[in-house]
């Protein structure tokens, strides 16, 4: 669990976080699109994934609009190492690898949800526009994690999926512990004062 001190320490970095948010939404849409081609799930489940991809693109556009309104330029940015390190915990062979990649997507969605809620709460006192923005996005991110877990259950039995989910959450905890604090949504906790 992320300490609330993490969101307080992000206060001076809100522009950089917002630029990253646009990149993250774009990446989330691209990842969902890729899974559409790879996951052998029935049409109903793929429809949910397609809707998720569209929702991430809507978030991307919404974040770009907010950047524009706040006069913050959107441009290239070095990505945080979080997602790449999570993927290093994935199995190498199919179909286990596909399940792990879907579960990594679920882990990222869940962590994004937690952190955006913390940012919404922390900004409520000093930046209502930003607090409302994060609060609006949080609801969607809460719905996204279970969609990926359900898709994984179309690839392997649910008990195997649950075991891998637990293992990847432990891997994520180790990844976050090793990461320094940075102006990124998935950075490590700030050093204790």
Interface residue list for Fe ion (CB under 5 A):
25, 28, 56, 59, 109, 141, 144
Place of tokens 């994690």: 145
Alpha-carbon separation of residue 97 from 5, 10, 30, 59, 124 (angstroms): 35, 34, 18, 28, 40
Distance CA 129, CA 66 (A): 9
Residue number with CB closer to Fe ion (38 or 54): 54
Q: How far is the CB of 41 from Fe ion (least distance, A)?
A: 18
Residue number with CB closer to Fe ion (7 or 28): 28
Sign of the CA dihedral running 88, 91, 96, 98: positive
- Phi, psi angles (nearest 5°) of residue 186: -115, 50
Residue number with CB closer to Fe ion (40 or 139): 139
Q: How far is the CB of 94 from Fe ion (least distance, A)?
A: 25
Q: How far is the CB of 113 from Fe ion (least distance, A)?
A: 8
């Amino acid at each position: 669990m992320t300490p609330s001190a993490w969101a307080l320490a992000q206060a001076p970095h809100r522009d950089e976080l917002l630029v990253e948010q646009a990149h993250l939404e774009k990446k989330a849409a691209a990842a969902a699109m890729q899974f559409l081609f790879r996951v052998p799930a029935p049409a109903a489940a793929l429809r949910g994934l397609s809707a998720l991809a569209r929702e991430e693109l809507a978030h991307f556009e919404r974040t770009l609009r907010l950047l524009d309104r706040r006069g913050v330029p959107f441009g290239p940015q070095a990505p945080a190492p979080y997602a790449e390190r999570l993927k290093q915990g994935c199995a190498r062979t199919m179909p286990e690898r596909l399940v792990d990649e879907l579960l990594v997507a679920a882990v990222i969605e869940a962590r994004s949800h937690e952190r955006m809620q913390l940012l919404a709460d922390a900004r409520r006192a000093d930046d209502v526009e930003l607090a409302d923005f994060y609060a609006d996005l949080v609801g969607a991110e809460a719905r996204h994690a279970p969609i990926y877990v359900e898709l994984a259950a179309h690839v392997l039995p649910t008990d195997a999926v649950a075991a891998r989910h637990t293992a990847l959450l432990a891997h994520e905890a180790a990844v976050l512990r090793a990461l320094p604090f940075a102006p990124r949504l998935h950075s490590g906790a700030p050093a204790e004062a």
